[in-house]
C-alpha cells in the first residue's frame, strides 16, 4: 500500500511549512511512527513521523522548500508498487501527422518612411553622433530640427546617463557573516516588536529568600526522583507558586481585547525554553489544579518534547501567564517582554548567597530576584506588587506548595 507523505497542518493558522531536513534518504526503509523529516513553521521546528511502514521511494520536495499544508511531499511504499506519478498514461487515439502545406513565397513589404525636416548641419551632427532624429523635438519653423535642437538633445542624454558620484563606503573591520532568519526567528521578532510597541509595560522587582526552598528541594529531590523519575527543580516550585497566586489575583490572569478586560477561567502557565534556533513556550494547562509533583512531571515532559522538537501545537498555545528563568546562566536579574495576549510575565534570576538581616542578625542567605513585567492597561502597580508579594511569601514558606488545593 502506497502511503503519501504530506505537509501536516498543525494548527488552524498554519498555511505552509518549510522542509528543514529529511531524516531518511530515498531507498531507505522507514517504520510507522519513526521520525521521517523535520519541518519548520512560524512557531516551531519539529519532527514529522512516518504514517506507514515501507521504503521511502520518492521525495517530491527537497530541503529548504516551503510547501503548502496537505501537499504531498513524498511516497512510502514497498518495492515494485507503482507510485501515483508512475501510473501508465491513459490510452489516447494517435494524433494524425498534419500534411505540410506549401509555403507561399514571402514578399518583402516596403517599410514606411517618414520625412524628417532638419537643417543640413543638424543632419550632419546627428549622423556623426549617432542620433536618431525621430527622437529630437524641432523648434525651428514648422517643427524643423536645428543644430541647437540636436546639441540640446545630446546634452540631455549625457546628463541622464552621467553616473552619480560614488558614496564613500565604510570598510568593515572584518568579514560579515549573514545568517538567514528562520521562520521561527521571524515569528519571534514580529511578536516581540508588537508587544513592546503596543503594550505599555511596567516592571517591579523583589528579592526572595530561597534558603528554605533550597532545603525543601534537597530533602525531597531523591524521593520524588525515585518514585517518578523526575528531578524537582526551582522552576517547578515557581510554577506552583505562580499558579496559587494567580488564583488569588485573577486580574493578572487576564487579557485585554481593546475594549474590555477578560478574566480567564483557566490558569495555563508557560515556561520559556531556549532552543538553538529560537524560543518556544510549552504550556502547563490548568496548573492550579496540579500538585507540585504533577507539575514537575508534566513540565519535564513538555520541556523534553520542546528540545526534541516533538511538541504538538496544543502544547504550546493557550498560555495565560509565562515564566522565564535564566538563573542557570548566572543571570542575577532581567526584565522580560510580555508574551501577548497575556498580561504579565515573570523573569527569574539565579539563587546566590548574600548577607541578609534575619531577626536582627546578619546571616548568609540564598537570595533570588524576581521581576514582573505587566500590562498597565490591565494591571496597576499596587495589584502587581501584591501578586509578587504573594509569590514571594509562598516561596519563602515552601511547604505551603505541598498542600492540597
Pair type for strands 361-375 and 201-209: antiparallel
Grid cell in block for residue 56: 521511502
Distance, in Å, from the CA atom of 321 to the CA atom of 281, rounded to the nearest integer, reads 10
**pLDDT of the residue at 68:** 92
The answer to whether the beta carbons of residues 209 and 353 sit under 8 Å apart is no
CATH of span 185-402:
3.30.559.10
Considering the chain, tell me which residue range(s) the CATH 3.30.559.10 domain(s) occupy: 185-402
Which residues form the catalytic set? 376
Nearest to 28 by CA among 1, 61, 50, 48: 50
Nearest to 390 by CA among 346, 352, 359, 332: 346
**pLDDT of the residue at 94:** 42
Helices (H), 8-136: 120-129
**pLDDT of the residue at 168:** 66
Considering the chain, tell me which residue range(s) the CATH 2.40.50.100 domain(s) occupy: 3-80
Distance, in Å, from the CA atom of 137 to the CA atom of 143, rounded to the nearest integer, reads 8
Q: What is the DSSP letter of 335?
A: -
Please give the average pLDDT of every successive group of 10 residues along the chain, which has 405 residues: 88 80 92 90 81 92 91 91 61 44 42 60 84 76 74 74 62 78 85 94 98 97 92 97 98 94 97 90 96 96 91 89 97 97 98 93 97 98 98 97 85
**Residue 289: CB partners within 8 Å, gap ≥ 6?**
405
The answer to whether the beta carbons of residues 344 and 267 sit under 8 Å apart is no
Q: Does domain 3-80 have CATH number 3.40.50.150?
A: no
**pLDDT of the residue at 124:** 85
Amino acid at each position: 500500500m502506497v502511503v503519501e507523505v504530506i505537509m501536516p497542518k498543525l494548527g488552524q493558522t498554519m498555511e505552509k511549512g518549510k522542509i528543514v531536513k529529511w531524516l531518511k534518504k530515498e531507498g531507505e526503509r522507514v517504520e510507522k511512527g519513526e521520525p521521517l523529516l523535520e519541518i519548520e513553521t512560524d512557531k516551531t521546528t519539529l519532527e514529522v513521523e512516518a504514517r506507514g511502514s515501507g521504503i521511502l521511494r520518492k521525495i517530491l520536495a527537497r530541503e529548504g522548500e516551503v510547501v503548502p499544508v496537505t501537499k504531498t511531499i513524498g511516497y512510502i511504499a514497498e518495492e515494485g508498487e507503482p507510485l501515483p506519478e508512475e501510473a501508465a498514461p491513459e490510452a489516447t487515439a494517435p494524433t494524425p501527422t498534419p500534411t505540410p502545406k506549401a509555403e507561399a513565397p514571402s514578399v518583402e513589404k516596403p517599410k514606411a518612411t517618414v520625412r524628417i525636416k532638419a537643417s543640413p548641419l543638424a543632419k550632419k551632427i546627428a549622423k556623426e553622433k549617432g542620433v536618431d532624429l525621430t527622437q529630437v523635438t524641432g523648434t525651428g519653423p514648422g517643427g524643423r530640427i536645428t543644430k541647437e535642437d540636436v546639441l540640446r538633445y545630446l546634452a540631455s542624454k549625457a546628463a541622464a546617463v552621467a553616473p552619480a558620484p560614488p558614496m564613500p563606503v565604510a570598510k568593515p573591520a572584518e568579514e560579515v557573516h549573514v545568517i538567514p532568519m528562520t521562520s521561527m526567528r521571524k515569528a519571534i521578532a514580529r511578536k516581540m516588536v508588537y508587544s513592546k510597541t503596543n503594550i505599555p509595560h511596567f516592571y517591579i522587582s523583589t528579592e526572595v529568600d530561597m534558603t528554605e526552598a533550597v532545603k525543601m528541594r534537597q530533602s525531597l529531590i531523591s524521593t520524588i526522583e525515585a518514585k517518578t523519575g523526575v528531578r524537582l527543580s526551582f522552576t517547578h516550585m515557581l510554577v506552583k507558586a505562580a499558579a496559587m497566586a494567580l488564583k488569588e489575583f485573577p486580574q493578572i490572569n487576564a487579557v485585554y481585547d481593546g475594549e474590555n478586560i477578560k478574566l480567564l477561567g483557566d490558569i495555563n502557565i508557560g515556561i520559556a525554553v531556549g532552543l538553538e534556533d529560537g524560543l518556544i513556550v510549552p504550556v502547563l494547562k490548568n496548573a492550579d489544579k496540579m500538585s507540585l509533583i504533577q507539575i514537575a512531571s508534566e513540565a519535564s515532559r513538555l520541556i523534553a518534547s520542546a528540545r526534541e522538537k516533538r511538541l504538538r501545537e496544543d502544547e504550546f498555545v493557550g498560555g495565560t501567564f509565562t515564566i522565564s528563568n535564566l538563573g542557570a546562566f548566572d543571570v542575577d536579574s532581567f526584565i522580560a517582554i510580555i508574551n501577548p495576549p497575556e498580561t504579565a510575565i515573570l523573569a527569574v534570576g539565579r539563587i546566590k548567597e548574600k548577607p541578609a538581616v534575619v531577626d536582627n542578625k546578619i546571616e548568609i542567605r540564598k537570595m533570588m530576584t524576581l521581576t514582573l513585567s505587566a500590562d498597565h492597561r490591565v494591571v496597576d502597580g499596587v495589584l502587581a506588587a501584591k501578586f509578587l508579594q504573594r509569590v514571594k511569601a509562598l516561596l519563602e514558606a515552601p511547604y505551603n506548595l505541598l498542600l492540597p488545593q
